[in-house]
A and B are shown apart, each in its own frame.
Chain A
């Protein structure tokens, strides 16, 4: 893909049209539902359900339109851009590559650093890029391993003076505080900083190109790349990996068109101009206790908004290939991460009215909040539909006391409900199907195992995401409720290892969902058996949540037919050189060797 820059006028027009269309589709869905509800006379529950349908459909339509806009602008380059071969002007500024770690597995993390450094060295630019491992690790045994592996890394890469390790004495502010601490002590030595996560991996050419782009635009405060998920092995992980690689570029392109100079920051795989970040992104501690008070949890969104407020450009360049991360391997790990993000996004409700923010930044906060409360609208709709049956008045077949011969039956407008359901499923599926068709036509599908494999993967992903949706909905609902009732998520370490879950572990994590599903189905069956059939698409996945979680956490098998596995992605067919280099380093470091001496840290004072 090539970067597509659009003018401010186009950005504002697209934003306005997208918003109006989404609102229009939402209102139409609400009106259609009212027509359906009017069949037996409009009750209060019909109005409530109509309002919930408006909100839910608006949210779905907004996502779908973003994907379709992106699709309209998506381009597949005929050949590899020159910058991916390292070609381009030299970079004058110095860049710090920040690798925050927190109780991570040190060898894997430092192997990524070695691979990225080798990738930069292959371009002959390693002297312009320093690595700073910023440890917030609290476990002493892990910290000792970090020191040992870091010494080996520096020795093998000949990187003394280019690689640094620092472990904070305490970790206020978590990751944001860790990064901030670096800028406060050493920021003046660098022009740019590439902020990574412990599981980030980037090609040297991509890092270099990002530095070039930031350097070329003096107003650029932050440049975000679109990281692709790699190394997924489980059924769930591979489905997410395929989704991120196949669908996300179109949605990111749509976001790119609408962002203007107020783009996103996702917390990692992004380069910042140090001066801009330091001047604009000192985060305050919010008054009150977590979850709504205290340190800002989802700091990245806020930092993007603060940079834009100060007049800096924040931009997502979705064409920046060679940017990778890892994802959760099972639904439970996904839900744990989501719990943290949920709290962070809901905390933004306090910042929507922050002084001086760009309107789009405020809208981004609202979007982030909606992403977590929208599922509650669907749950509310289901609950209201059940309540509507309980509260429905008895039908009056003889409304005219002087005409008792011919009963008047309530008008059944079920066709309207079917139309509505088709429309909603259309919003869910249409963008993904269109992306699949575009991939087939443009040749992009070749990277995903060819047209047939890509089509198979698209259809199975749609089915799989539909099956797990009720389980995700329940986890999200619990997260929102926990935050609303004041429970803090803390800062759990991400589980980045093998995420296989046995049925007992899955049962322990999701039995409450299974019981809720069972209770709901029994209750509805007792109330009105015909409604059970309508609820089965939601109720059955809930009932079998433990089985779904355990099954989807298992490693996916070999292809049943064809040369390529389901959910094949380009990085599996032709792995990026930095991925191969990383695996090579891991293989080399995994070989038995003499014990690595544990380095004694230097206790330093400012």
Chain B
């Protein structure tokens, strides 16, 4: 359950300081969806208002 394109590094390319540099073996750590885009109230309002409710996603 991930979001396309919202990926990888959380900060700039600067690693920081290192002594005996860690092996470079990058991995992609996709952001997880934890909150529904719409609250329950908005969903109910949408339901009764006949509007479409969007898919889950941050």
Q: Which residues of A contact B (CB under 8 A)?
A: 132, 135, 143, 147, 150-151, 154, 160-161, 163-170, 172-173, 177, 180-190, 274, 278-284, 286-287, 302, 306, 309-310, 350-351, 353-356, 599, 601-606
Q: Which 8 A-B pairs have the closest CB atoms?
A: A188-B25, A601-B17, A189-B25, A187-B27, A189-B23, A282-B29, A165-B19, A604-B15
- Docked complex Cα distance between A243 and B23 (Å): 41
Q: Is the CB of B35 within 8 A of A351?
A: yes
Q: Is the CB of B17 within 8 A of A603?
A: yes
Q: Is the CB of A602 within 8 A of B17?
A: yes
Give the residue of A150, A181, A187, A354 whose beta carbon is less than 8 angstroms from that of B35: A354
Closest to A306 in B: B32
Closest to A295 in B: B10
Closest to B58 in A: A284
Q: Which residues of B contact A (CB under 8 A)?
A: 1-2, 8-36, 40, 56, 58
Contacts of B19 in A (CB 8 A): 147, 150-151, 154, 164-166, 599, 601-602
Q: Is the CB of A188 within 8 A of B27?
A: yes
Closest to B30 in A: A282
Closest to B34 in A: A354
Contacts of A183 in B (CB 8 A): 27, 29
Give the residue of B14, B20, B24 whose beta carbon is less than 8 angstroms from that of A169: B14
Give the residue of A160, A187, A283, A605 whose beta carbon is less than 8 angstroms from that of B15: A605
- Docked complex Cα distance between A161 and B15 (Å): 18
Contacts of B36 in A (CB 8 A): 353-355
Closest to A166 in B: B18
Q: Is the CB of B23 within 8 A of A166?
A: no
Give the residue of B15, B17, B24, B31 whose beta carbon is less than 8 angstroms from that of A282: B31
Contacts of A135 in B (CB 8 A): 17
Interface of A is mostly: mixed
5 extra interchain contacts, Cβ-Cβ under 8 A, other than A166-B15, A284-B34, A354-B36? A154-B19, A168-B11, A184-B10, A189-B25, A606-B24
Given contacts A180-B29, A189-B25, contact A165 B18 (CB under 8 A): yes
Q: Is the CB of B24 within 8 A of A185?
A: yes
10 A–B contact pairs at CB < 8 A? Answer: A161-B20, A164-B18, A167-B18, A182-B22, A189-B23, A274-B27, A280-B32, A282-B29, A287-B35, A602-B19
- Docked complex Cα distance between A601 and B26 (Å): 22
Task: Output the residue of B12, B19, B33 with the most chain A CB within 10 A.
Answer: B19
Q: Is the CB of B20 within 8 A of A184?
A: no
- Docked complex Cα distance between A286 and B12 (Å): 20
Closest to A605 in B: B13
Q: Is the CB of A356 within 8 A of B1?
A: yes
Q: Is the CB of B21 within 8 A of A181?
A: no
Given contacts A284-B58, A350-B35, A354-B35, contact A184 B16 (CB under 8 A): no
- Docked complex Cα distance between A166 and B24 (Å): 13
Contacts of A310 in B (CB 8 A): 1
Contacts of B29 in A (CB 8 A): 180, 183-184, 187, 278, 281-282
Q: Is the CB of A351 within 8 A of B10?
A: no
Q: Is the CB of B11 within 8 A of A181?
A: yes
Q: Is the CB of A286 within 8 A of B32?
A: no
- Docked complex Cα distance between A355 and B37 (Å): 10
Q: Is the CB of A169 within 8 A of B16?
A: yes
- Docked complex Cα distance between A350 and B25 (Å): 34
- Docked complex Cα distance between A164 and B8 (Å): 22
- Docked complex Cα distance between A182 and B20 (Å): 14
- Docked complex Cα distance between A155 and B9 (Å): 33
Q: Is the CB of A286 within 8 A of B14?
A: no
Contacts of A151 in B (CB 8 A): 19
Closest to B36 in A: A355
Q: Is the CB of A351 within 8 A of B13?
A: no
Give the residue of A164, A188, A302 whose beta carbon is less than 8 angstroms from that of B26: A188
Contacts of B58 in A (CB 8 A): 284, 287
- Docked complex Cα distance between A601 and B17 (Å): 5
Q: Is the CB of B32 within 8 A of A166?
A: no
Contacts of B17 in A (CB 8 A): 135, 143, 147, 165-167, 169, 601-604
Contacts of B10 in A (CB 8 A): 172-173, 177, 180-181, 184
Q: Is the CB of B16 within 8 A of A166?
A: yes
Q: How far is the CB of B30 from chain A (nearest CB, A)?
A: 5
Give the residue of B11, B13, B26, B35 whose beta carbon is less than 8 angstroms from that of A286: B35
